[in-house]
Amino acid sequence: MDTMQAVKETFIKIYNDNIKRKGAKEFLDYLCSSSSDFFEAPASTRFHSSEPGGLCMHSIKVYYRLKELVANEKSSWAKNITDESIAIVGLLHDVCKINFYKVEIRNRKDESGEWIKVPFYTVDEELPYGHGEKSVYILSSYMKLSRDEAMAINWHMGGFDPRVLGGSYQLGPACYKHPFAVLAHAADLFATYFDENPGGNE
């Protein structure tokens, strides 16, 4: 997957092959529309996949990691996780980042000591609804999520979630009651730190 177009085509194929529920076509139409920068956006400002198309690429990597984790999980509950649920959580956990980043210009010295103008990503939050919970909110306006899907997307950041960092104790109960969320977080970590640029999970 060496071009944004190839990455986009891979995403769409996985999506269409697996996600069939009511509202899925409409949400994909939105992702492909001019109202969304999903296929052009980075996954972070400067950490993992911080380049054009990085958000889509990261989502695909999380999907493959999640698929592998579910297949290897021996607990009985894992047998009830469908291919559709894996695709929804893996591909769409970070739709909160649509129209989230913008490009600005700053001055930086090059190797010769000359000042040059370089582009960089900054956050421009239009809908301050949180992170995982924002993805659930966006998706729920198009399709009905199962409780496990919603919990997995909502808590995919695990201990990095701002609510947890702020002192919330809801992560533990959520993971005990909906262990699919644990696999979603692990898949996000594996994709970020093993498959992409190391340095963070923004």
pLDDT surpassing 90 at residue 71: yes
For residue 182, the model assigns a pLDDT of 98
- pLDDT band for 2, please (50, 70, 90 cuts): low
For residue 201, the model assigns a pLDDT of 41
Token couple for 145:
């999520």
Q: Where are the alpha helices (DSSP H) in the chain?
A: 4-18, 24-32, 54-72, 83-92, 132-140, 147-154, 162-165, 171-177, 180-190
pLDDT surpassing 50 at residue 202: no
pLDDT surpassing 60 at residue 23: yes
**Dihedrals phi, psi of 119, to nearest 5 degrees:** -80, 150
For residue 89, the model assigns a pLDDT of 98
Contact 189, 35 (CB under 8 A): no
- pLDDT band for 97, please (50, 70, 90 cuts): very high
Q: Is 129 left (phi over 0), alpha (psi -120 to 50) or beta?
A: alpha
- pLDDT band for 113, please (50, 70, 90 cuts): confident
pTM across the whole model: 0.89
| Residue whose C-alpha is closest to residue 165's, from 188, 190, 131 | 131
For residue 15, the model assigns a pLDDT of 98
- Cα 88-131-11 angle, rounded to 5 deg: 30
Region 94-101: mean pLDDT is 95
